[in-house]
Structure 1
Amino acid sequence: MKMAAISVPENVRAFLLDIEGTTTPITFVKDILFPYIRENLEDYLSAHWEEDECKQDVHLLKKQVNIKTEY
């Protein structure tokens, strides 16, 4: 697979992508991405748990869950 290169301004901190039904079928997310995450998340977190970026990501996910459960 050939990937395209793009220039990203320095002030860009994140990309928000909505692939579900936009660039790929919804079944791809359910049948491929979700199982991949289930199979690899524990190993990834074990390998990166002490890294600041990983800690920040986990913190933000916890915060997002708390916001959603307040409604």
Structure 2
Amino acid sequence: MSGAVRGALAKARYYVREFSGEAAYDRYVAHARSHDPQAEVLTRRAFERARTDAREADPREGFRCC
């Protein structure tokens, strides 16, 4: 695979991960580990649940029934 194609695929992967929110967990783990390497981090499932709960509790987001 040429370098240009590989670079384009890497950029596309980056934008898809950012757009979908998948990279948020990776950023959370990196942040938690940089502040306290011994700290217990949430599992991906618990992180996503907390993230969803926080988003739904935010009054600026509006009411969501589903």
TM-score normalised according to structure 2 size: 0.31
Larger Rg: 2
Considering fraction of residues, name the structure with more helix. 2
TM-score normalised according to structure 1 size: 0.29
Q: Which has the higher contact order (CA 8 A, sep 6+)?
A: 2
